[in-house]
Amino acid sequence: MSAAPEVIVAVEVADIRFPTSLQLDGSDAMNPEPDYSATYVTVRTSGGAAGYGLAFTVGRGNDVQVAAVRALAPLVVGLPVADVLGDLGGFSRRLTGDSQLRWLGPEKGAIHMAAGAIVNAVWDLYGRREGKPVWRLLSELTPDQLVDLVDFRYLQDALTRAEALAILRRAEAGRAERTALLLERGYPAYTTTPGWLGYSDDKLVRLAKEAVADGFPLIKLKVGADLGGDVRRMRLAREAVGEHVHIAVDANQAWGVDQAIDWMTQLAPYRPYWIEEPTSPDDILGHAAIRRAIAPIKVATGEHVHNQVMFKQLLQAGALDVLQLDASRTAGVTENIAILLLAAKFDVPVCPHAGGVGLCEMVQHLAMFDYVAVSGTMQNRIIEYVDHLHEHFTDPVHVRGGRYLAPAAAGISARIHPSSVAEHRFPDGPVWSVDGDGVSGPHPLAGAPGLSTARTAQ
């Protein structure tokens, strides 16, 4: 009697929200009052195994994200685990190519982020099964196995399968040496902690100095709400960090193309290292125009760039100095392999977007894989770090002396403590049903949609 094959039996999804808007952590020109949230996915198998992934959102709309995961779940439940793990490229295309669901994208928005959360959960399952962190699992796949994961249909005018193979084969020789170096020294990090718009000047200066003392080679300031304030904050930050620490700035899409050029010209005397999201993330030609106008200030974007076709064009158009991939904006690990290969082809460094909920935890695996097996270098590469909410994860990131230490635990590090999940469930978890004094009653933010809209509509 042969045993029944192990199959995926459930795709569970939870709406988890953290009331971060109460502290103005994470405030920027477009996100004045975010409640950092996760559409938290658990994939379970008939063998009792599980994988964990998530899509990050900033509060309202996390319920739509949950609905999108539920819409994809029937495409996953019942599949044999061996078939899924044996063809993760096909699995990803199954989620992104469903002939009815793709109408909601295609390959963008809630349905694509939902695919990313599920794909990451399945990579987590794979890592746990192999007993390896995902960065190491990826770094030990052969070039042919990696290239098989990529959907080249819309990429071939910029990156062929043969070119991708050549990139990976070139990096193959040094894999062992770079793995050893990574385990010994970690990977460079920068911090956004000092720079949120909601912070006072004193807090900015204090946190900027702490960042330097902690060993970070780069800090980031949010800009774009008020030019005079930005000039003042940039000056204070430059004074606080000195001449040898980089200061990146981030406008979170606040500007039109010409406005971005004007604004950055005003900030140029304080030597910003890059301008991140100067305008609409969809505006490929706009980013290219801004880059031409403000060099040598670098142009960075990616956290809202929704798929590999957009990254392809940003690279083709010469619009980017820094590519900021995101763990779950696109279709997870699988699509990010393609994005890393595109970046390597165009010789543009990848500096992942992180922060939020679990993004630091997930993207470190991608950057480390890039170092070991794709670009083969850390030159001009750095991972964003924000010291928020890591305590909720079972395998939180470890950042020491301005560097991410390579994760050792199996999987993609996205598992949230069951107690944190229970506490932050929206809208019924205890965090959302008692106020700050622990007195039972509606949380000040629960059921208050539109509050921050009124502010942004001004």
Name the token pair of 310.
């957009």
Dihedrals phi, psi of 313, to nearest 5 degrees: -70, -40
The residue written with tokens 């995101």 in the block is 326
Q: Which is nearer to a copy of itself, 152 or 175 (CB)?
A: 152
Contact 393, 415 (CB under 8 A): yes
Closest approach, Cβ 296 to a copy of itself, in A, equals 22
Residue 363 burial by Cβ neighbours in a 10 Å radius (0-12, 13-18, 19+): buried
Closer by beta carbon to a copy of itself, 110 or else 373: 110
Cβ distance to a copy of itself smaller for residue 14 or 111: 111
Q: How many C-beta atoms lie closer than 10 Å to residue 306's C-beta?
A: 19
Q: To which residue do tokens 């049903």 refer?
A: 433
Q: Tell me how far, at minimum, the Cβ of 112 lies from a copy of itself, in Å.
A: 7
Strand partners, 250: 222, 276
Question: What angle (nearest 5°) sits at the alpha carbon of residue 195, between those of residues 193 and 200?
Answer: 110
Task: Pull the structure tokens for residue 279.
Answer: 């305008």
Q: How far is the CB of 276 from a copy of itself (least distance, A)?
A: 15
Q: Computed over its alpha carbons, how large is the radius of gyration of the chain?
A: 21
SS3 assignment, position 205: helix
Q: How far is the CB of 102 from a copy of itself (least distance, A)?
A: 7
> Which pair of tokens denotes residue 335?
């699509």
DSSP 8-state symbol, 435? -
Q: Which are the catalytic amino acids?
A: 222, 353
CA angle 330, 151, 353 (to 5 degrees): 25
Helices assigned H by DSSP within 347-458: 359-369, 418-424, 430-433, 451-456
CA distance 195 to 222: 6
Alpha-carbon distance of 17 to 425, in angstroms, equals 6
Widest pairwise Cα distance in the chain: 76
Range 397-417 burial, b when 16+ CB lie within 10 A, else e: bebeebbbbbbeebbbbbbbe
Structure tokens at 302: 């990616």
Kindly tell me which of 115 and 207 has the beta carbon lying closer to a copy of itself. Answer: 115
Closer CB to a copy of itself, residue 93 or residue 246?
93
- Nearer to a copy of itself among residue 238 and residue 312 (C-beta): 312
The CB-of-235 to a copy of itself minimum distance in angstroms stands at 27
Name the residue nearer to a copy of itself (CB basis): 11 or 368.
11
- Residue 166: closest CA among 341, 410, 319: 341
* Cα 118 to Cα 232: distance, rounded to the nearest angstrom: 43
In the complex, minimum distance from the CB of residue 172 to a copy of itself, in angstroms, rounded to a whole number: 27
CB of 89 to a copy of itself, least distance (A): 11
